[in-house]
A and B are shown apart, each in its own frame.
Chain A
Amino acid sequence: MGKYKKHILYSLYLIAFVAMVVVAYTSSKYRPESISVLFTDLSWLGNWPKWLDLPLMPFLNEGFDKLIKEYGMFFEGINNFLLGLYTQMKNFMVGLPWPLLMIGVIALCYFASGRNMGTTIMVAFCVFFLGFLSPRYWDKCIMTTCIVVIGMLLCLIIGIPVGIMMARNKKVRNALLPILDLMQTIPSFCYLIPGILLFGLGAVPAIFAIFVYAVPPLIRLTDLGIRLVDKEVVEAAEAFGANKKQKLLGVQLPLALPNIMQGINQCTMMALAMVVIASMIGTRGIGDEVLLGLQQLNVGMATEAGIAIVLLAIIFDRITQSYGEKIQERTHHKKKLKI
């Protein structure tokens, strides 16, 4: 039985392939007048023939046009929501006096790292140097931070439930893994373009791009984290009659948390990398300083902005990382007693 299934599958693939070739042939304007020519004139075996061309581009463009026409309102709604969120957040933070904001970040780091003085002092220096490098950078870093934070929130809201679903269901995992691969490997400019078409220029396509680029590691690590939870511990929960929800919230998620935090950390780093690229589509922020330096062949300017990005990355990394470590300590206690 299993053998037949395989054969059926293979023949389906073959049919699909032949269908694609036929479609390519019939829709091409370079095709020879009749098929019989192909057998008499064998020159098409030399260079790749022009008629052997899958019409993917016009197909995608048509589909995309249709998407915009029919679901334009939907994307408009998302756009307005995200843009509103971004503007509010940015205006609030820019409006704050800079020392106050700095103290806020330092306090956040202090508590997130479990009152670790070393990390806090390092982050404090990094925050100070953002403005110290160039006063312009302060507001631009705030913009970048807002975009990264909103993009990350989006990743969390969607990524963690998807990761949980993947861990629970093998079929879902098999279906999603290639999509995640695609999201990670497709060059980021390829989805910046539809981002612009859907959401216009500015912060929102950047958030969209961040989501596409940064959500895969979070999904993967959530999935992995849950599956790596000791089988016997999960079995114990089942044996005592935990239902699915109790098992997930009481056992699997808390034990997967160190891995999920690692995913969030990865997610932040990738978001920051993306926001710099997104400056090419007119997203305001620290990235456009690099772009400006590039355009003016101003080495100093580009380097200075580059350093600011590194500092910003260190701040994000230290805060999320140290929070993850704090959680990890809680679940993986060192042995203190031996009796």
Chain B
Amino acid sequence: MSKIEIRNVYKIFGDSPSKVLPMVQEGASKEEVLEKTGHTVGLDNVSLSIEEGETFVCMGLSGSGKSTLIRHINRLIDPTSGEVLVEGTNVMDLDQKSLIEFRRHKMSMVFQRFGLFPHKTVIENVGYGLEVQGKTLEERNKIAMEKIESVGLNGFEHQYPNQLSGGMQQRVGLARALATNTNVMLMDEAFSALDPLIRSDMQKQLLDLQSELKKTIVFITHDLDESLKLGDHIGILNGGRLVQVGTPVEIIMSPADDYVKAFVKDVNRAKVLKAKVIMSSANEANGIDKSNLIKVNEDQFIEEFLPQVVCTNANCEVVDKEGNTKGYITNKELQKSLSKS
């Protein structure tokens, strides 16, 4: 059973969404619906499932409905039609009280513009989720301090958010989401408002945290590089429709349509593709010149061993951790994987 399952979710914004729904279900496009009825289609028949412990990245340009989608998972927005299941419970069936309990204990959220409380200090912000749960101040502060340390903000706990830089503020946001120790974390363009250096720093921090905590993360972004770096699976949204779902490699190697193709066109493939993905397996490889071989770990990215290949003009032998030969990479494979189709 998947951790989060979204089934045929439609979301239409406007005065009477339920009347427009049949039209959308029959396949009218976003522009048509807007022109004829004045309603905006947010999500158009989106179905996906997210497994426990994975990072699912939802990617799309602004207006593609990705922020709308993430808000369906904790029901900050109600769908016009469809089901959202988290751990098997349909969030639409929850009444007000159990919805609040659900939000308190099941999932936490990180926001694009941080969503910190300006009138609370860092430690109060981080402890907010625990505060609404009704935990004592002592308990709150203890857990909050742990999380502040884990994001590397020791010494700032009594500052106010406005006194911190953007990157630090988002770390507070992250610590706040971690503090309630929920299994699911929703991150709505969490790093989009940060400048590039700090962003890659935060991405690394998130990867480190994730390798330790193994949470189910739903991450929203408009940046393909970011989604390739963080995502176990990526879903690409366009105009409210889910265009393609797949692993980063699948997205790059076999884009589903022109929209995705345009997206992945400028990706630096050498940075994303691993040796094991592009190699031809050991038993298929016949007639390869094995006199001049470089050993390459199967999890290495192309960019890591490419300079060596170019300098020595050698072929690569791909090995796993134990040193067993898994396959070979020759110029042919490199050319195929690196050239833009």
Contacts and interface: CB of A to CB of B under 8 A. Distances in A.
Contacts of A3: none
Given A333-B162, A335-B162, A338-B165, A240 B111 contact: no
Interface in A245-295: 246, 250-251, 254-255
A29 interface: no
Nearest to A243: B100
Contacts of B176: 240
Contact of B132 (A1, A241, A338): A241
A333 B160 CA distance: 7
Interface stretch (B101-109, B262-270, B319-327): B101-109
A233 interface: yes
Given A238-B103, A333-B163, A335-B163, A232 B115 contact: yes
B308 interface: no
A42 interface: no
B133 A241 contact: yes
B76 A337 contact: no
A261 B338 CA distance: 63
B76 to A, nearest CB: 6
B165 A339 contact: yes
Contacts of A230: 113, 115
A170 interface: no
A240 B132 contact: yes
B118 A240 contact: no
Contacts of B89: none
A331 B165 contact: no
Interface residues of B, number: 37
A171 interface: no
Majority DSSP secondary structure for residues of B touching A = mixed
B208 interface: no
Nearest to A231: B115
A242 B119 contact: no
A2 interface: yes
Interface string B127-140: 01101110000000
Contact of A236 (B115, B163, B168): B115
Contacts of B131: 250
A251 B125 CA distance: 11
Contacts of B16: 1-2
A236 B101 contact: no
Contact of B103 (A232, A239, A336, A337): A239
A239 B112 contact: no
Given A241-B104, A251-B117, A331-B119, A235 B111 contact: yes
B117 A240 contact: no
Bin the interface of chain A by size. 20 to 34
A334 interface: yes
A241 B128 CA distance: 10
Given A233-B115, A233-B116, A240 B109 contact: yes
B100 A239 contact: no
B168 to A, nearest CB: 7
Contacts of A331: 118-119
Contact of A332 (B107, B159, B162, B165): B162
A234 to B, nearest CB: 9
Contacts of B212: none
Contacts of A333: 118, 160, 162-163
B95 interface: no
A330 interface: yes
- Interface centre among B16, B101, B119, by most chain A C-beta atoms within 10 angstroms, is B119
Given A333-B160, A333-B162, A335-B163, A254 B119 contact: yes
A238 B101 contact: no
B105 to A, nearest CB: 8
Interface string A18-50: 000000000000000000000000000000000
Interface in B1-54: 15-16
B227 interface: no
B118 A239 contact: no
Given A240-B129, A241-B132, A336 B117 contact: no
B168 A336 contact: no
Contacts of B107: 239
11 contacts: A230-B113, A235-B76, A235-B111, A237-B128, A239-B186, A240-B180, A241-B105, A243-B100, A331-B119, A332-B162, A337-B159
Given A239-B107, A240-B132, A337-B159, 15 more contacts: A2-B15, A232-B111, A233-B117, A236-B109, A238-B76, A239-B74, A240-B104, A241-B100, A241-B101, A241-B133, A250-B131, A333-B160, A337-B163, A338-B165, A339-B165
Interface of A: 1-2, 230, 232-233, 235-243, 246, 250-251, 254-255, 330-339
